[in-house]
Amino acid sequence: MITILIFSLAYSIKGGLLGRYKPFEDWRDANIPKFGGKFFSAFLMAVLFLVQGEGIEYALIWLVAWLLAVTPSMGEEAGAIGRWNHWWGDYRFAVYPFGHAKAGKQVFNRSYGVLKGVQRGAWMGAMFCCAGATTLSIPIMAIGFVAAHFLGQEAYYRIHKSDSWVYVEPVVGALLGLCYVFGG
């Protein structure tokens, strides 16, 4: 259980949790602007993997899997998945250019977000699978990533009346932790 909570915390840190605290944000911007939360989440994961006691090779393999799984930005997927009856992001306003067979029609729709979310979740699960997690990591993350984003954004909107994926990050981190625990 502690391992899953650590994964949840690390994924939240990767997503900018520490940047929500002004003193840390100022220090980070002055010292390590290119890494920030990804650096701290990787450090937390390295400590966890070393404490597991399987050796340095084990820790390095899982650390690489963590970095490959979580480093690419996921804001596009989050906004495109959206919440009930609404999705957000600049790309939702994209239309085909004049001269195209579909000129003036919308390029993307909600299915784009769901498909990108499934792809993103499957990528994360595959990275963990390569490191030694259960092969079920791929469908768990593919389905879980989309479900977590939809439900988390809906909950955030109901409480705050604005769009954000803040509530999603701990859930996605917990799903990754679950994949690790079942396979590690």
DSSP letter at 166 equals T
Residue 164, pLDDT > 90, answer no
Percent of the chain predicted with pLDDT > 90: 32
Single-letter code of the amino acid located at 180: Y
pLDDT for residue 86: 84
64 versus 82: the higher-pLDDT residue is 64
Calpha distance 92→108 (Å, rounded): 6
pLDDT digits over 131-147, tens only?
Answer: 988 899 999 999 999 99
Identify any residues that bridge with 95 across adjacent strands, giving them in sequence order. Answer: 106
The burial class, CB within 10 Å (0-12 / 13-18 / 19+), for 10 is buried
Query: What residues contact 91, with CB distance under 8 A and at least 6 apart?
Result: 76, 79, 80, 107, 108
Q: What's the Rg (C-alpha) of the chain? A: 18
pLDDT at 28: 62
Structure confidence at residue 148 (pLDDT): 93
Provide the pLDDT for residue 104: 87
What are 6-59's pLDDT values in tens digits?
A: 999 898 888 766 666 667 666 666 665 555 677 788 888 989 989 887 789 988
Once rounded to an integer, what is the mean pLDDT over residues 147-159? 92
CA distance 148 to 168: 6
Q: Extract the tokens encoding 167.
A: 């509530």
Task: Provide mean pLDDT across the span 60-87.
Answer: 83
147 is written with which tokens?
């479900």
Among 56, 53, 73, 52, which Cα is nearest to 64's? 56
> What's the confidence (pLDDT) of residue 52?
83
CA 117 to chain centre: 10
For the chain, give the number of residues.
184
The predicted structure's pLDDT at residue 20: 63
Domain regions of the chain by residue span: 2-183
Report the candidate in 94, 95, 3, 100 with the shortest Cα–Cα distance to residue 47.
3
Q: How far is CA 70 from CA 5, 54, 122, 163, in A?
A: 16, 22, 12, 21
The pLDDT value given to residue 27: 66
**What whole-number distance in Å separates Cα of residue 128 and Cα of residue 73?**
18
